[in-house]
């Protein structure tokens, strides 16, 4: 049985990426969906415990290219965040 994942991202800071409100919402939705999928399929990385709260996380540098679509950018960012949790 796969665990339930309740994910809440309060703030996502993307330096150097200019998006209008609609594209920003699509990116965030894709990022949350992909990160939830990673957590559900692979579990909590490292020493994280169920119910853990993380005040901040540096996911490192993600190269998106100047013409990255919000959907593909969201997936790439989610993978970087999951990697950051693993290094955490």
**Domain containing 38: what range?**
21-87
CB 80 within 8 A of CB 59: yes
Structural domains of the chain, count: 1
Q: Tell whether 10 is covered by a domain.
A: no
Q: Tell whether 83 is covered by a domain.
A: yes
Residue 72 has pLDDT above 80, yes or no: yes
Residue 3 has pLDDT above 80, yes or no: no
Indicate yes or no: pTM above 0.85: no
Residue appearing with tokens 């969906």: 33
Q: Tell whether 49 is covered by a domain.
A: yes
Instruction: Return the percentage of the chain with pLDDT > 90, whole number.
Output: 19
3-state secondary structure 13-31: CCCCCCCCHHHHHHHHHHH
Q: Tell whether 76 is covered by a domain.
A: yes
Furthest CA-CA distance within the chain: 40
Q: Tell whether 14 is covered by a domain.
A: no
């Amino acid at each position: 049985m796969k665990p339930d994942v309740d994910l809440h991202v309060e703030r996502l800071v993307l330096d150097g990426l200019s998006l209008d409100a609609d594209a920003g919402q699509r990116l965030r939705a894709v990022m949350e969906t992909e990160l939830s999928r990673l957590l559900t399929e692979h579990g909590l990385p490292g020493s994280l415990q169920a119910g853990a709260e993380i005040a901040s996380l540096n996911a490192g540098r993600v190269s998106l290219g100047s013409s990255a679509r919000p959907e593909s950018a969201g997936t790439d960012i989610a993978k970087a965040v999951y990697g950051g949790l693993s290094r955490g």
